[in-house]
Structure 1
Amino acid sequence: MIEQSLLAHLIELRTRLVRALVGFFLIFLGLFHWSGTIYHLLARPLLQHLPAGSNMIAIEVTAPFFVPMKVTMLVALLISLPNTLYQIWAFVAPGLYSHEKRLILPLVVSSVLLFCLGMAFAYFLVFPLVFTFMAAVTPSGVSMMTDIDKYLSFVLGMFVSFGAAFEVPVVVVLLVRIGILTVAKLRAGRPYVIVGAFVVAAIVTPPDVLSQTMLAVPLWLLYEAGILAALFMQRQQARSAS
């Protein structure tokens, strides 16, 4: 019976993985034709701030093909994420208690939304300011020309940094929910969090004050939002208990 149950779980896991991969590949194939346009959208924050007559360059021979493909795959991954998360949820949900479902589902949904919000914050607010600053400080006689592969690495690093930073409220709420921290301890640790936010920003962002500040300040504000969310959750629990 145990072997049959294990086999059934493995078959179910394989089915869910196949469905997630099929969803991803179908979206990727649908976007393949527009891979150049997709990369152009990603590069637009930099292209808009390059000096007149300057362009991006490709150092590697295969970069003009593979870099847009990588970007298209990442976009397909994001678009197919709801289907992927649903397949994961459909696999694990039958083994969860009702109170675990009530906790996990909102956390997963909010985590995805906050990560996407962090990426949007980087794309629409941080990139234009950073590239404007870089163009302004470029020394006379130096052409500001960026390799497309290096640009992709830069923006992916920034997307991950800001996406992860926007997960702070979820982490704070989860720590309070499982009893590791309390709202009072979170408030008492506020000065250390502010200092830590600037340290983290200095590590994960380019070495300029502007981008570091634009990551550190949201980190602190998101920490405060996490405290408010945790306080709201505690009050809701107290009302339910009464």
Structure 2
Amino acid sequence: MSKPEVDEIDKSSAPLLDHLIELRSRLIWALGGFFVAFLICFYFAKQIFNFLVLPFQWATVWAGMGDTRVDLIYTAPQEFFFTQIKLGMFGGLILAFPMIATQIYKFVAPGLYTNERMAFLPFLIASPILFLMGAAMVYFFFTPMVMWFFLAMQQVGPEQEIQISLLPRVSEYLSLIMTLVLAFGLVFQLPVVTTLLARVGLLSAQALADKRKWAIVLAFVVAAVITPPDPVSQIGLALPTILLYEISIILCRRIERSRAREQAKREAQEAAKAAGVGDAETPAA
């Protein structure tokens, strides 16, 4: 370890008590941000829930039902109230995530080198963006497709002797949306995780490529576990996962090529420096 790096660590070092005080301060800010976001989301819980029902309405249009009016029920007096609390917590966590991530970064950053902080910052920005991309895919495409699949199973109409219609409970519908948003949001973090591991040298593009077959199988297994038990949901989650896996391989290869260029440049500079020192030490004839 070079002397400048040692000096940088010594400057950022602090007693254990100072670290605990700093940790408490960051936790207070993170929990405070989450509590404020929770109150905001809980206050507008009905409006947010109505917004989340819009994909259900789009599915009724896809199913050719004509009427875009949808009916949801709750079978216990307290069910809708607790659903709003759950929605407030879920929305508050998403809304407060930038502040929480910032507090985590501020706590960890003093222990990192300057180049490590600069390398970590883009991933801190990309993570919420990718999560929102996954949530948008769930909202605008995946949820309407899943609800259309379920609506197609109904037995309604004057020609049907037995009428079977879909009347979801508010808690079950919210649980479905939350599960899909979390599943897609976490899956969209795959490029971030793999590139971080590749940057620190714990993962290589060749290792990812060699495990491609296992990754495809695992993608379908995970999709079958965390999505509703229908082929539309499972395939809809597994295919983006496989695509993101291939993107991760490409990003890892770019990082490895960039690291190889930097290493070659560093070795060339060291060789030139060594050659210069050798020439200086050669006595004049």
Using structure 2 for the length normalisation, give the TM-score: 0.76
The answer to whether the Cα contact below 8 Å between 1:39 and 1:72 also exists between their aligned partners in 2 is: no
Superposed CA offset, 1:86-114 (max 9, x none): 11111111112234323433333323322
Q: Partners in 2 of 1:86 and 1:174 — Cα distance?
A: 18
Provide the residue aligned with 1:189 in structure 2: 211
Q: Shift in Å at residue 56 of structure 1? A: 0.2
The answer to whether the Cα contact below 8 Å between 2:98 and 2:128 also exists between their aligned partners in 1 is: no
Q: Shift in Å at residue 130 of structure 1? A: 0.7
Q: Secondary structure at the match of 1:57?
A: coil
The answer to whether the Cα contact below 8 Å between 2:41 and 2:87 also exists between their aligned partners in 1 is: no
Provide the residue aligned with 1:121 in structure 2: 137
Provide the residue aligned with 1:104 in structure 2: 120
Q: Partners in 1 of 2:38 and 2:224 — Cα distance?
A: 35
Once the two structures are superposed, the pairs formed by residues 11-160 of structure 1 within 5 Å of their partners are: 11-49=21-59, 52=67, 54-140=70-156, 141-160=163-182
More displaced 10-residue stretch of structure 1: 232-241 or 147-156: 232-241
Closer/same/farther in 2, CA of residues 185 and 12 from structure 1, 3 Å limit? closer
Q: Percent identity?
A: 39
Superposed CA offset, 1:145-168 (max 9, x none): 011111122221111211121122
Provide the residue aligned with 2:15 in structure 1: 5
More displaced 10-residue stretch of structure 1: 118-127 or 72-81: 72-81
Q: Partners in 2 of 1:31 and 1:220 — Cα distance?
A: 34
Q: Shift in Å at residue 194 of structure 1? A: 2.0
Provide the residue aligned with 2:250 in structure 1: 228
The answer to whether the Cα contact below 8 Å between 1:54 and 1:144 also exists between their aligned partners in 2 is: no
More displaced 10-residue stretch of structure 1: 199-208 or 41-50: 41-50
Q: Which of residues 200, 203, 206 is equivalent to 2:225?
A: 203
Aligned residue type for 2:229 = P
Q: Partners in 1 of 2:206 and 2:83 — Cα distance?
A: 48
Q: Shift in Å at residue 8 of structure 1? A: 1.9
Aligned residue type for 1:35 = A
Closer/same/farther in 2, CA of residues 182 and 29 from structure 1, 3 Å limit? closer
Name which structure has the greater RCO, CA cutoff 8 Å, separation 6+. 1
Q: Partners in 1 of 2:34 and 2:232 — Cα distance?
A: 36
Q: Secondary structure at the match of 2:59?
A: coil
Q: Which consecutive unaligned segments of at least 5 residues does structure 1 have?
A: none
Q: Shift in Å at residue 57 of structure 1? A: 0.3
Aligned residue type for 2:71 = N
Q: Partners in 2 of 1:85 and 1:185 — Cα distance?
A: 29
The answer to whether the Cα contact below 8 Å between 1:47 and 1:55 also exists between their aligned partners in 2 is: no
Provide the residue aligned with 1:239 in structure 2: 261
Q: Which consecutive unaligned segments of at least 5 residues does structure 2 have?
A: 1-13, 157-162, 266-285
